[in-house]
Structure 1
Amino acid sequence: MSIGATFVYAGIDVTTTALFSGVRGAQLAARASLVECGAFPARLGTREPFGELIAGVEAALDLRAHRAGTLPRHAAHLHQRTAGRIGSLTRLIRRAAITAILDGTERLTKTSLDQVRLNHLTETHHRPTASRAHTPKR
């Protein structure tokens, strides 16, 4: 019996590890294709992949008072705020949505999103604008 399978190995900075060294490493290196993942692009030609991603995430929200199209309008700000990281974006929206449910507003706004603290990478990457510099983060 045979089973078709695709093996996916995930890791950080794998080319600097022993993964591809030695006899077994050489076999793996000959069969593997590296896919490097970085920040999700804000623009790609005429498309706006990050805005499309935001629209998809927004479509999955089930908040009573939230207006569709609110989040994609802030795509540039959200890309800058999250350093283009998909995980940071979904974490931001999830935390803001939970807060909106708990406080009864049931909607997301740029202000409510900006009140969410994120991971160290995005917080150090994101620099508040002059108009927000005086607003303390929670």
Structure 2
Amino acid sequence: MAATPLDQDALRDSAPTIGTLLAELERTLNQADDVFDDERVVSRLRETLRRLHGRLRQHHAAGVWTLGDEGTFSSPELTGAAARLLEEHACMLGMLDRILRWMDTAATGQLDEQNVCALRIRELIATVRRHEAEEESLFYRSVWMDQGGEG
């Protein structure tokens, strides 16, 4: 039996989606080169990062994938990909933890520190988007194979 994503409605509440939070971060960073000079912008970045952290923790805790009765995908390739994606959740949460700590020093720090912090936020955005695209691809490949398609 192929893996299926958990009921996404069960994961949703009034909070914005991960994609919405990533877009909000990107918009905030693109406002100006000196985003760390405006305390309101820094506060908005911090709050968005905290909300993203909560959504990623929720996503990670849910496991995102429930495996079939056999506890595996029908293809070993897909099982390995799913395991790798599950392990990646902890890395993304670690990235986000470090960024939140840097936010405290970057807001009052040197321009170099601010640039590094902004770069790390952009790196996180790219990493999470790639991760979500891979999860989506894995789901559709699983459905395809479950319906008799070839790998």
TM-score (normalised: structure 2): 0.30
Bigger Cα Rg: 1
TM-score (normalised: structure 1): 0.32
More helix by proportion, 1 or 2?
2
